[in-house]
Structure 1
């Protein structure tokens, strides 16, 4: 496989205080890469920088080898990057169906938008049962599925997913992790997954990257006990 996403010496932060320091990262096409680390490690900052919400102060972000510096957020979406932030950011006043339509507003192929929406309903059965319900009437797990489904309607190549299990019951968390594996295997979706549920993330990830204080401290397919104790707190 080849890297769909690559960062080179990526540094970013807020004001004069850097949060990420010289981060080098490769995310292979059609893979799930888990980004792990304690609170404050820089995981959310990494996703915000990759999606263009936060400008890098140094280094490069490459998608298919093309530099994304200066690319606006709307153009990032058109290039196939979807960012689902922490907190299940659905529009609670809109129905499930209306939220999903938001995910495809920028796409010109309306027939494929309808097809993608139908695929989301097939994949996420709870949403199909509640398609006319407003977002504020959904459970936390259903809102997370809706946020993920809305991103998928845009047919992303790269999904940046921030803490999808936050505040959810273990059963719902397991379902979401299984769904991510299914999407990778079925459609070749590339996922960069920030997750505090280390065991759940490692169960589906092809590779893991551990951040500590904004730096990559280890990467690979196996996080040993020493690394878990030192950087993940268990």
Structure 2
């Protein structure tokens, strides 16, 4: 059995919400190591809540979350980062008052291996040439595409095993979106990065994903290979709107 057949993340019966209102209702997921899983569905389906619950920002009310064999359902956010999880929220999450380099260094503040943290920073500059050119520019001076690169780069400086990525194409030009999707595929192939990708641009997400999960009203209604989701007209019309 190869590493890509092994589960990095397992979710069983996950329920969560805000106050007394449940948003997620018995979610079951298995995410294999070194794969990209697209999380799809209409607005309000629970996609963002799923990522926020997995990353510790929302406390689950039931079920189990297991990362690399360890239960993490009640683990603080900072400990999840140390265990290899990185979350890039919708809206990019850049600290606009800080420079590009200061934002990137935030991603590696917790790391004790300073030499490798420096290598990780250099690797991000190699991946994102616009950031290297603007390393002393503040966040508010960046374009939307550059801010998305910066948010991704800050997550990658932490060298995550699992990247949770929420709507990376939101507000971006199609060319920039295509570049980001290509980067995710390259990172998966080259480094074995595992990605859980929430994305409204269904075609774009399925073009790079290995598998797809469709949520509706906080429940998993379809879990299939990405290729089948792309090719099955009935599935696409019923759940994905194209």
**TM-score of the pair, normalised by structure 1:** 0.99
1:116-138 Cα shifts (integer Å, max 9, x gaps): 00000001111111111101010
SS of 2:235 mapped into structure 1: helix
The corresponding residue for 1:202 is: 206
Match of 1:180 in 2: 184
Residue 103 (structure 2) pairs with residue 95 (structure 1): no
Query: Following TM superposition, by how much is the alpha carbon of 1:65 offset from its aligned partner in structure 2, in angstroms?
Result: 1.6
**Pair 1:19 & 2:27 matched:** no
User: How far does residue 219 in structure 1 lie from its aligned partner after superposition?
Assistant: 1.2
Measure, in 1, the Cα distance between the counterparts of 2:126 and 2:198. Answer: 25
Report the secondary structure of 1:183's partner residue.
helix
State the superposition RMSD in angstroms: 0.7
Aligned pair partner of 1:56 in 35, 55, 60: 60
- 1:71-90 matches, within 5 Å, as 71-90=75-94
Q: Which residue of 2 aligns with 1:220?
A: 224
Question: 4+ residue runs of structure 1 moved beyond 2 angstroms?
Answer: none
Deviation at 1:226, TM superposition (A): 1.7
1:149-197, Cα deviation, whole Å (9 max, x unpaired)? 0000001000000000001000000000000001101110000000001
2:129 is aligned with 1:125: yes
Write the distance in 2 (CA, Å) between the matches of 1:58 and 1:9. Answer: 7
Distance, in Å, in 2 between the alignment partners of 1:213 and 1:228 is 17
Matched, 1:232 2:236: no
* Alpha-carbon distance, 1:228 to partner: 1.9
Q: Which moved more, 1:113-122 or 1:65-74?
A: 65-74
Query: Within the alignment, does 1:150 sit opposite 2:160 as a pair?
Result: no
C-alpha distance in structure 2 between counterparts of 1:15 and 1:232, whole Å: 29
- Distance in 1 (CA, whole Å) between partners of 2:139 and 2:162 is 25
**Which one of 127, 138, 143 corresponds to residue 139 of structure 1?**
143
**Secondary structure in structure 2 of the residue aligned to 1:25:** strand
Distance 1:126 1:118 in 2: 13
Supply the distance in 1 between the matched residues of 2:153 and 2:199 (Cα, whole angstroms). Answer: 18
